[in-house]
Amino acid sequence: MARVVVDVMPKPEILDPQGQAVTGALARLGITGVADVRQGKHFELEVDDAVDDATLERIAEQLLANPVIEDWRVTRS
């Protein structure tokens, strides 16, 4: 078995109001110097060694991410 991580983030041009709300909350904690926060998703998959990179790409593109609004990165660890 292998551990695969898929990180999914909203595309840069997509407004991320959740990230903006987090940025605002940091200011209320008295923390300064954080100009921007963007919120995404982190998936950890346990996969058979037989699962190839093309299949992992398909998993990310067809289900874990929506290519219309999100970018993703697949990492084997």
Partner 1 sequence: MKIGVITFPGTLDDGDAARAVRLAGGEDVALWHADHDLRGVDAVIVPGGFSYGDYLRAGAIASLAPIMTEVVAAARRGLPVLGICNGFQILCEAGLLPGALVRNAGLHFVCRDQRLRVEATTAWTADLEGRELLIPVKNAEGRYVADDATLAELEDAGRVVFRYAGGNPNGSLNDIAGVASADGRVVGLMPHPEHAVDRLTGPSTDGLALFTSVLRATTAA
List contacts with partner 1 (CB under 8 A).
10, 14-15, 17-18, 21, 63-64, 66, 68-69
* Residue 3 · residue 46 · CB < 8 Å: yes
**Which residues make Cβ contacts (< 8 Å) with residue 15, sequence separation at least 6?**
none
Residue whose CB is less far from partner 1, 15 or 29: 15
Residue whose CB is less far from partner 1, 50 or 68: 68
Min dist CB 75 to partner 1, Å, is 19
Residue whose CB is less far from partner 1, 13 or 49: 13
Q: Give strand ranges (E) for 1-77.
A: 2-10, 41-47, 70-76
